[in-house]
Amino acid sequence: MIETKTPHLQGPRIRVEVAEASGFKHIAVKRLTPVIGAEIGGISLADGLDEAQLREVAQAFAEFQVIFFRDQMLDPEQHLSFGRLFGDLHIHPAAPHAPGQPALMVIRADENSPRANGEVWHSDVSCDQHPPLGSILNIKVCPTYGGDTLFASMYAAYDALSDRMKTYLDGLRAIHDGEHVYRGTYANLGVADKPSYPRAEHPVVRRHPVTGRPALFVNRGFTRHIVGLPSDEGDAVLRYLFEHIENPLFQCRFRWQPHSVAFWDNRCVQHRALWDYWPQTRSGFRVTVSGDRPIEYFQ
C-alpha cells in the first residue's frame, strides 16, 4: 500500500502527491525523484531472486512505478526468467524479436535506422485489449552520450488535474489503435505487415489493480479519440491531456550504461525514448509482461 504525504510540490496549478518510501531490508533503494523512479542495488537478476528480494522488488515496483538496475549481465534466458516472475510474457504484435525467442523484442537504432522505438510518449501496446503490465528493457550497447529514456507518472498527472477536470473525465473511454503506429514501421528490418493490428477501448482513467490508485490512461502514441464526444471536443480534451501528462514535474530521466535494466509499469507510467545519438548505436532487448483489461476508476 502506498502512503501519501501532504503534497509539497506546487506549481501554479500543479500539486504532486509524494509517495513515502517504505523500509527495504533485502534490496538497496535510491529514489530518483519525489514522484517516480528508483535505482535498485544489492541484487543480481542473473542469479535469480530469493523470496524476500522478490517481495521487495515487487514492492519497489508498486511504489516507484519504474525501477532501474545497473551492471546486470543478463543472457536471454535470464532476462525472460526475470519477466516470468511477474506474469506470462507478452508477444509484441509487430516488432522484431530475437531468433527463436518471440518474447524477446529487439530494441535497436544505428546509423542505418530510419527511426528508433518509442520516440513518442506512450504506454506500451496500449492498443491491446489486455495491455502489458510492464516492460523490462536491458540495454547492452549504449552511445557515448544521449539515448536517455524519460518516464512520467500517470498517478501524478491524474492527481494534479483540477477537481472539475477529474469529474469531467469520470466514466469516459477512449479508442487506442495500433494501425497507424505499426503498419510499415519495421519494413526496413524485413518484418512483413500483418493484415490488421490491435485496437481497443479503455477507460481514460484506470484504477491500478495493485495500488488502487487512479492513473491517466491516454497517450499520444496510440489514443485516437474519446468515445461519445463530438470529435472537436474529444480532440481538444486529448490535446490538453497529452500536454498535461508531459509536465516535467511528473518525470524522471534515466541515463543508460551498458547492461542497465529498466522495469516500468505500463499501467501507471508513460515513457519516451530520445533518439539524439545518431549515427551511434544503441541496442538491447525488451521482455514484456502481459497485463489485464484496464478497470475504470470512478472518484
Residue pair 139/258 in contact (Cβ under 8 Å)? The answer is: yes
Q: Is 30 exposed, middle or buried (0-12, 13-18, 19+ CB in 10 A)?
A: exposed
Alpha-carbon distance of 293 to 285, in angstroms, equals 25
Catalytically annotated residues: 122, 124, 271, 286
| Residue 67, helix vs strand vs coil | strand
Nearer to ligand SIN, 62 or 137 (CB): 137
For residue 15, the minimal CB distance to ligand SIN (Å) is: 29
For residue 47, the minimal CB distance to ligand SIN (Å) is: 25
Nearer to ligand SIN, 117 or 185 (CB): 117
Residues at the contact surface with ligand SIN, assessed by CB under 6 A: 107, 117-118, 124, 135, 137, 149, 271, 273, 286
If phi > 0 it is left, if psi is from -120 to 50 it is alpha, else beta; for residue 233 that is alpha
Residue pair 90/290 in contact (Cβ under 8 Å)? The answer is: yes
In the bound state, the residue with its beta carbon closest to ligand SIN is 118
Nearer to ligand SIN, 134 or 203 (CB): 134
Provide the residue type at 102 as one letter. Answer: P
How far, CA to CA in Å, does 52 sit from each of 24, 58, 66, 178? 10, 10, 19, 38
For residue 187, the minimal CB distance to ligand SIN (Å) is: 18
